């Protein structure tokens, strides 16, 4: 680990309380995949040492619409910690985020481990214990969301919080490929999409994630939560917003981004 990675990691950690920072051009080339994940890893280990527990992973940038929004052309991943989960129907204090956006997703909870670096979509399907409607609240510690691929990866996939529907479904007999998604803010439709938006199928996104992590020696385990990526464009949040995600045939979840 280079001193440059360590400096970038600390800069991002401090931004959670100190406010946004400039893009990491002085620390990482915009396409430096190794360096970006190196910075993410430094902060993951730092936060684990602080007592945070890893409960899963998120695949990001799996929808072409979101890739276009952020000017990137490949997926990424980030770590989900226990304190990032917001209860279904719960409240997220506005002060918890800097410049948040919401996106609706399909999530999986694993019933068995996925140890192979050649994990297939069928392998994932066999390992899933339940599928859920989900909302990811993304955030960026980079000013004005002016991010490159390296910026978002280093910044834990621009992650912040997530909501899972309390009620999950069995994957068997559930059509996640054509499942339609509608996200509403304060009763108005703000984003629509479909399961196929996530790398052609959320199971493909999950297989990419499982294979990538296994190859890094960090395989997904039973009980892990997998966020399979946005099904439509992300939408900025404002204090007081009530957000509902409805995924056809799978479920509904919601939260309120509280004022104050």
pLDDT tens-place string over residues 231-256: 998 999 999 999 999 999 999 999 99
Label residue 69 by pLDDT band (50, 70, 90): low
In this prediction, residue 2 carries a pLDDT of 85
pLDDT tens per residue across span 179-199: 999 999 999 999 999 999 989
pLDDT, the chain, mean:
94
Label residue 59 by pLDDT band (50, 70, 90): very high
CATH no. for residue 129? 3.90.850.10
Of 9-13, 66-70, 155-159, the least confident: 66-70
- Cα atoms in the 13 Å half-sphere on the side-chain side of 32: 16
Confirm if 94 and 258 have CB atoms less than 8 A apart.
Answer: yes
For the residues 155-164, what does the mean pLDDT come to?
97
Label residue 62 by pLDDT band (50, 70, 90): confident
Confirm if 20 and 140 have CB atoms less than 8 A apart.
Answer: yes
Report strand pairing: 101-110 vs 90-93.
unpaired
- Domain encompassing residue 147: 3-258
Query: Nearest to residue 212, comparing CAs of 77, 33, 92, 83?
Result: 77
pLDDT tens per residue across span 119-148: 999 999 999 999 999 999 999 999 999 998
Taking the complete model, does pTM exceed 0.85, yes or no? yes
- Token pair for residue 208? 């990419």
pLDDT tens per residue across span 71-100: 667 789 999 999 999 999 999 999 899 999
CA distances from 209 to 7, 53, 215, 226, 229 (A): 27, 19, 10, 9, 10
Q: What angle do CA 196, 199, 205 make, to 5 degrees?
A: 110
- Token pair for residue 24? 């990491």
How many domains in the chain?
1
- Token pair for residue 247? 């995924």
Handedness of CA 77, 147, 84, 170 (dihedral sign): negative
In this prediction, residue 1 carries a pLDDT of 57
């Amino acid at each position: 680990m280079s001193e440059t990675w360590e400096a970038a990691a600390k800069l991002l950690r401090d931004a959670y309380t100190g406010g946004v920072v400039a893009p990491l051009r002085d620390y990482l080339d915009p396409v430096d995949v190794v360096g970006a994940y190196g910075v993410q890893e430094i902060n993951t280990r730092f936060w684990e040492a602080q007592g945070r527990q890893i409960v899963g992973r998120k695949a990001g940038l799996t929808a072409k619409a979101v890739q276009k929004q952020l000017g990137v052309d490949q997926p990424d991943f980030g770590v989900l910690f226990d304190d990032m989960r917001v209860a279904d129907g719960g409240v997220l204090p506005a002060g918890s985020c800097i410049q948040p956006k919401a996106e609706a997703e399909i999530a999986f909870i694993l019933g068995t481990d996925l140890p192979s670096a050649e994990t297939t979509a069928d392998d994932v399907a066999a390992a899933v214990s339940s599928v859920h409607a989900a909302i990811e609240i993304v955030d960026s510690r980079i000013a004005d969301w002016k991010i490159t691929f390296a910026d978002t990866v280093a910044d834990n996939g621009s992650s912040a919080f997530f909501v899972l529907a309390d009620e999950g479904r069995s994957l068997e007999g559930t059509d996640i490929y054509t499942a339609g998604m509608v996200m509403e803010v304060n009763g108005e439709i703000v984003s629509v999409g479909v399961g196929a938006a996530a790398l052609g199928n959320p199971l493909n996104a999950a297989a990419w994630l499982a294979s990538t992590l296994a190859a890094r020696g960090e395989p997904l385990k039973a009980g892990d939560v997998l966020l399979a990526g946005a099904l439509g464009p992300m939408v900025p949040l404002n204090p007081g917003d009530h957000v509902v995600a409805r995924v056809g045939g799978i479920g509904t979840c919601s939260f309120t981004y509280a004022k104050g």
